[in-house]
Amino acid sequence: MTNVLNGLNPSLVFNYFEQISQIPRGSGKEKQISDFLYKFAKDLNLEVIQDEYLNILIRKPATKGYENCPGVILQGHMDMVCEKNKDVDHDFEKDPIELRVIDDMIYANGTTLGADNGIAVAMSMAVLASNDLEHPSLEVLITSDEEAGMTGAGGLDGSLLKGKYIINLDSEEEGYILVSCAGGNRSLVTLPLEYKNIEEDKETFLVEVKGLLGGHSGMDIVKQRANSNIVMGRILNLLGVDFDLVEVNGGSKSNAIPRECEAKIVVNKDDVDTLKNNLTTVECILKNEFKTSDPGLKIELLPSSTDKVLTTECKVKAVQLLNLIPNGIQTVSMDIEGLVESSTNLGVVITSEDKMTFESTVRSSVSTLRDAINDKTKLLCDAVSAKFEIHAPYPAWEYAKGSKLEEICVDVYEKLTGKKPIITAIHAGLECGLLLDKMDGAEAISMGPDMFEVHTPNEHVSITSIKNVWDYLVVLLKSMNQQ
């Protein structure tokens, strides 16, 4: 194992984070990390359950004087979003994450860092391994497949959970206590494809959109960043020359704002110069539109080859879908200032032999608005003879006014820091809603350290903030017998 984080404080947290960074843990590929956590608990002689979904539940008894306090559940997820820069040679199914420290920040080397939600795993492990902390009875719940649809939390047997207070550690801003989040689902649009032979006197090109910042489709949707798949739709609609379409491929995760997209097109040789000039004009238009949110946007045209193209009908339908499919912020809350109420993100477009698929993540704190987005997409699919499916729906986490846990968290934070925490909701999806639906009378909050550019290869987390949140968590657990 590397020792990049050696010497950082709290040492246990950073040591465990570095350990789990060596273990591949992309969504749907969690067997290795789940087994590692199971062995970790067994080595500490703690009660541990590994269920069929690879969720891990570890129990640690209360320390002396805390036996009658409500039990606490520390909760996070073991999987991470696997994104990398195009020029980085990294296999997320076998290669460790290469950590780097720059000033107060931890980065990876051209890939996502996995601080979302590896920091929760590391903090929970540190609590379990520490013998000098005071706390109520603890359950550490580390779920699987959160990023791809929360199937781990969804499949969990809720009767296994005995605690009353859930402290979710999957938030990304220090000083914020989250008490509500959006629900959502993944939507999948499938367009059947038919091909025809390429004509003579044609040239094939690859149009590439790159240089975008991307981001978390919940946390960063408010930043109005360019979506490479949607941008490609604009480009294809503005080419200004007759063209045939071969394929479109962009993004890799539905819950990440895509940073790159490429489309293979075929044009008449006589139109090549016009195509190049028009793309230069389109690039200037898009650079101006996204000059603040995505100043690095660029369009490249590269020579390519093909022996077949889509039929004209399929091409038209594909371009229509790329331009008309709902994307971005749909509504903003009138009750909570600055909160996105509903949104959708066209995260992945893939062309295979006989179909083109469009995968989106839909989020909303109001279920009927989520339904409205899905209905709108289905109407579009009906118009172009595409198939529409909804996958992995999960409920919103509704605000519980008068929560005792919220009161405790606010009181401890004020005493520790001399400041009031910000109590708010989040547009991103958290597992609290799913878990609370399985537990009678339970309460939940979510917190975490400062993280930046989550779900992108520029993801980084503050070292100082990790220490601050750890110190707060330790005091919070200790204070449970004073309430």
Q: Residue 21 in contact with residue 96, Cβ under 8 Å?
A: yes
42-66: b or e for each residue (b if 16 or more CB lie within 10 Å)?
eeeebebebbebbbbbbbbebbeeb
Spatial neighbors of 135 by CB under 8 A, at least 6 apart, are 60, 62, 63, 66, 72, 127, 477, 478, 480
Distance CA 124, CA 138 (A): 10
Tell me the mean pLDDT in the region 305-329: 98
- pLDDT band, very low/low/confident/very high, at 483 (cuts 50, 70, 90): low
> CB-side exposure of 36: number of CA atoms within 13 Å?
19
Distance CA 400, CA 331 (A): 23
Q: Residue 23 in contact with residue 2, Cβ under 8 Å?
A: no
Topology of the domain comprising 185-394 = Alpha-Beta Plaits (3.30.70)
Distance CA 12, CA 6 (A): 10
Give 413-422 pLDDT, tens digit per residue: 999 999 999 9
Q: Residue 443 in contact with residue 216, Cβ under 8 Å?
A: no
Per-residue HEC secondary structure of 308-371 comes to EEECHHHHHHHHHHHHHCCCEEEEECCCCCCCEEEEEEEEEEEECCCEEEEEEEEEECCHHHHH
Distance CA 93, CA 99 (A): 17
What sign results for the dihedral spanned by CA atoms 273, 275, 281, 287?
Answer: negative
Distance CA 46, CA 289 (A): 56
Tell me the Ramachandran region of residue 467: left when phi exceeds 0, alpha when psi lies from -120 to 50, beta otherwise.
alpha
In order of 186, 269, 271, the CA distances from 277 in angstroms are 38, 14, 10
Distance CA 359, CA 188 (A): 5
Task: Using DSSP, state whether 318 is helix, strand or coil.
Answer: helix
Is pLDDT of 53 > 80?
Answer: yes
Phi, psi values for residue 131, rounded to 5°: -105, 0
Give me the active site residues, please: 79, 146
Q: What per-residue confidence (pLDDT) applies to 338? A: 87
Q: Provide the β-strand partners of residue 47.
A: 59
What sign results for the dihedral spanned by CA atoms 412, 417, 420, 426?
Answer: negative
Task: Using DSSP, state whether 469 is helix, strand or coil.
Answer: helix
Which H helix or E strand runs over 299?
strand 298-303
Is pLDDT of 154 > 60?
Answer: yes
Distance CA 383, CA 316 (A): 12
Q: What share of the chain in percent tops pLDDT 70?
A: 100
Phi, psi values for residue 410, rounded to 5°: -65, -45
Residue bearing tokens 């791809």? 148
- pLDDT band, very low/low/confident/very high, at 149 (cuts 50, 70, 90): confident
* Residue closest to 207 by CA, chosen among 282, 302, 86: 302
In CATH, 11-182+396-482 is 3.30.9.90: no
- pLDDT band, very low/low/confident/very high, at 335 (cuts 50, 70, 90): confident
Listing DSSP states for 2-56 in one string gives --TTTT-SSHHHHHHHHHHHTS--BTT--HHHHHHHHHHHHHTT-EEEE-TT--E
Task: Using DSSP, state whether 77 is helix, strand or coil.
Answer: strand
Q: What is the DSSP letter of 354?
A: S
Distance CA 388, CA 377 (A): 8
Q: What per-residue confidence (pLDDT) applies to 86? A: 87
Q: What per-residue confidence (pLDDT) applies to 239? A: 97
Domain ranges for the chain: 11-182+396-482, 185-394
Give 357-387 pLDDT, tens digit per residue: 999 999 999 999 999 999 999 999 999 999 9
Tell me how many degrees the CA angle 466-144-391 measures, rounded to the nearest 5: 120
Q: Which residue has the higher pLDDT, 392 or 100?
A: 100
Q: What per-residue confidence (pLDDT) applies to 385? A: 98
Distance CA 189, CA 182 (A): 22
Task: Using DSSP, state whether 57 is helix, strand or coil.
Answer: strand
